[in-house]
Structure 1
Amino acid sequence: MSALVCVARIGAAHGVRGAVKLWTFTEDPFAVRHYGPLLSKDGKRQFEVAQAREAKDHLVATFKGVTTRDEAERLNGIELYVAREKLPATDEDEYYHTDLIGLAAVTTDGDALGRVLAIHNFGAGDIIEIAPLKGPTMLLPFTNAVVPEVDLAGGRVVIALPQEIEGEIEGEDEGNVPSASRPRENGDP
């Protein structure tokens, strides 16, 4: 079976007739109606959207076979997936997260850096998470400047590591820290 892609998450029950709030992760929120049965993450449960209407920042949807509020409440939090091959092709410079996860990450010089663990979006843009060969996990902006090349066929992403880490000021060292930044010891004013 091909990789599964998360396309929606079921939220709280809405009303008394089995409707739920449905947050979709597709460009067209109503596309979830056209992929056929949606699967739970483990693939053991199937859900088919019977009806959907737009609400403020989500859809209000009903699923076939879910007719009461109690049944709808038990679905809260379930993520819904479809097989990767059911999704439309992407445009150039667009990628499904599942296509990137697991790719090798290399520097612009071609040195091995690690593997792509995940793609996150906390509201300010996509973040690529790299598990390096050594050291802590790296979270980097998924921008053209930091990720200048994605080579799906070659199984790799090229990472241009930022030059400045943790806001260090050039020329500043332990003996040359401005006095306003020095930590105070007990009794210092």
Structure 2
Amino acid sequence: MKPDEKIIVGRIVAPHGVRGDLRILPDTDRPEIFKKLKTIYIGEKPYTLKSARPHKNVYILHVEGVDDRNTAETLVSKIVEVPFSELPKRPEGTYYYFQLIGLAVVTEDGTKVGTLKEIMETGANNVYVIEGEDHKEILIPAIPSCVLSTDIDAGRMTVRLPEWE
């Protein structure tokens, strides 16, 4: 992934108040990243992020240059993006969802299982939805005994299929 490649992190759903705050519906599994960002892109235009705070199921952002409700309303429905290089670094061995979606999934012996197409969040652990070669869905729990390795650079995840597969 190129450092300047932009990643969608949310969408503006409404203004908030009269001072130009924006309600952002996060499109990330870690919306707390908004608190660490300095610049966001709204409709290809960069904005300096002045503040970010959670509010119910959205984040309230205030950006430089948007200081009233009328200006904020013009940004409703626009996507919010961040250059990949500006995302907070993940701890070793952990990844952003967008880095995992699309990976080729293979077994320990190299047999192709399919392509990771979705990540379901459950109460206990995430579940990876793999689209098999025959377009059948295969569900794999995202736990160390099933997910043996992930190589983002090679575009591959190695798994041990659960016995029920």
Under TM normalisation by the shorter chain, which class is it? 0.7 to 0.9
Identical columns (%): 31
What CA distance in whole angstroms lies between the structure 2 residues aligned with 1:141 and 1:46?
38
Q: 1:27 to 1:17 in 2, by over 3 A?
A: closer
Greater CA radius of gyration, 1 or 2?
1
Residue 82 of structure 1 corresponds to 82
- Map 1:145-156 → 2, pairs under 5 A: 145-156=145-156
- Matched with 1:31 is 36
Aligned pair partner of 2:20 in 18, 21, 43:
18
Cα distance between partner residues in 1 of 2:113 and 2:107: 6
Deviation at 1:53, TM superposition (A): 4.5
Query: Which letter maps to 1:85?
Result: S
Offset from partner CA, 1:33-81 (integer Å, 9 cap, x none): x2x2x224xx634333233345456543222232332332343444422
Unpaired runs of 5+ residues, structure 1, are 166-189
Q: CA deviation at 1:95?
A: 1.0
TM-score (norm 2): 0.73
Distance in 1 (alpha carbons) for counterparts of 2:60 and 2:93: 32
Q: Alpha carbons of 1:121 and 1:48: their partners in 2 closer, same or farther (altered >3 Å)? A: farther
**Cα shift at 1:94:** 0.7
Q: Distance in 1 between matches of 2:71 and 2:141?
A: 40
Tell me: higher relative CO, structure 1 or 2? Use CA pairs within 8 A at least 6 residues apart.
2
- The structure richer in strand per residue is 2
Task: Give, in whole Å, the separation in 2 of the partners of 1:117 and 1:61.
Answer: 30
Asked whether the 8 Å contact 2:33–2:87 carries over to 1, the reply is no
| Aligned pairs for 1:4-83 within 5 A | 4-22=6-24, 25-32=30-37, 34=38, 36=39, 38-40=40-42, 44-53=44-53, 55=55, 58-83=58-83
Q: Which residue of 2 aligns with 1:107?
A: 107
Would you say how many aligned residue pairs link Structure 1 and Structure 2? 160
Query: Residues 88, 15 of structure 1: CA spacing in aligned structure 2 closer, same or farther, 3 A cutoff?
Result: closer
Tell me how large the CA RMSD over aligned residues is: 3.0
Shift of 1:150: 1.0
Q: Deviations over 1:69-121 (max 9, x none)?
A: 23323434444222222234322221122322332110233201122224343
Q: Secondary structure at the match of 1:95?
A: coil
Where 1:67 maps in the other structure, the secondary structure is coil
- 1:148-182 C-alpha deviation (Å, 9 max, x unpaired): 211234331012222226xxxxxxxxxxxxxxxxx
